[in-house]
Amino acid sequence: EVDTAVQTLEDLYQRMVFPTMDASWTTHPDNLGHKDWPGCFRCHDGKHLNEKQESIRIECNLCHSIPIKSPEDGSTPSIALTEAYEPESHVDTNWIARHRFEFDGTCEGCHSVQNAGGGDDSSFCANSACHATEWKFAGLDATGIVELTNVLAENLPTYPETALTWNDLVAPILAARCVACHGGTAGLYLDSYQGLMDGGNLGPAIIPGNAEASLLVQLQREGHPNRLALRELEWIIEWINAGAAES
């Protein structure tokens, strides 16, 4: 038993003391919540890359569970003790940086996705302990990103000042909001009129003359990682219902 205890202490020492970095368990005596000290995030920030562009991973569940907000009644939240299944994409070293760009219909096969990227705890993808927090030392601010992506850019066309067509109104809006990902995510290309009409893996993106049945409109209303500004969506709905003219 003594030998086992000694070996355990040696193992713990190797995992907790880093002499060349002048770091030990006394460096950040209270790193609870990762809010007061850089702590782990000095290295585990997703920004330290090797020659293959692989980062020192930043995922919370490398060391503990995904953050879960405690119930308002003060009770202990329910946390699964079994290791959750993760697809290969989720163990990519840059997954935290990529995951908001990789959102598609396959996500719902494992967890709920309502209000994705939000912070109202309405689903797995709307975790307030993740998204409603500015992680100062980790450099993560999901709430700030959502606010920035939903600002109506001054250089984008507006309706009715601009003709209600793909070329004049819709294409510039989608180029600013969506093309960075689609692009190819879910096989959907929104950088051309033909790509929009062809749709993606989930089916046609729009149905000319029927905005309510159009997948683009449905996903925007249900909650999408990067939402169109409300009036932009209203213009696109009107464009679809008017027949979705190219020019």
The residue extents of the domains of the chain are 2-66+89-148, 166-241
Cα separation of 178 and 171, whole Å?
Answer: 10
pLDDT, tens digit, 9 for 90 and up, residues 23-70:
777 776 666 778 787 878 888 888 788 888 888 888 888 888 888 888
At 92-114, the pLDDT tens digits run 888 887 787 677 667 877 888 88
- Low pLDDT (below 70) residues in the chain: 28-31, 101, 104-105, 142-154, 184-186, 223-226
Q: What is the pTM of this model?
A: 0.49
* CA nearest neighbour of 149 among 215, 220, 60: 220
- What is the separation of C-alpha 40 from the centre of its chain, rounded to a whole number of angstroms? 21
